[in-house]
Structure 1
């Protein structure tokens, strides 16, 4: 299970990559900063659902370090 599947790894203000509902078929990543955590359970197999500061909602696939590199790989 990746870091984006565990709620404890997601914090408000974190730079993440999410997959929007309409992009689930392609897996296109949208980057942004977490504004709200929407998933209440401690884990989710498809990623924790969050809302970004720009209002986009999706499931976390990547968590980025402050230098912009992915921490998932």
Structure 2
């Protein structure tokens, strides 16, 4: 299972776990489908920032499907 820190691994349509901005302290994960990639750099130490299909924005912590 990839950890979501490399932009090339994250693509629209993948099912992922993200940590939303409001949940950063608690570490609560939210599962969803990637709609858009918001991080432009090829890597990010806290995970690539994405917008899910339901409109929520968070950083990818786990890629569930490939």
Unaligned runs of 5+ residues in structure 1 are: 67-73
**Residue aligning to 2:42:** 42
Distance (Å, rounded) in 1 between the aligned partners of 2:14 and 2:65: 9
Greater CA drift, 2-11 or 12-21? 2-11
**What TM-score do the two structures reach when normalised by structure 1?**
0.85
Between the two structures, name the one with larger relative contact order (CA 8 Å, sep ≥ 6). Answer: 2
CA distance in 2, matches of 1:28, 1:56: 14
Which 4+ residue blocks in structure 1 deviate beyond 6 angstroms?
Answer: none
TM-score (norm 2): 0.94
Give the number of equivalent residue pairs: 65
Matches within 5 A, 1:26-37: 26-37=26-37
Structure 2 counterpart of 1:8: 8
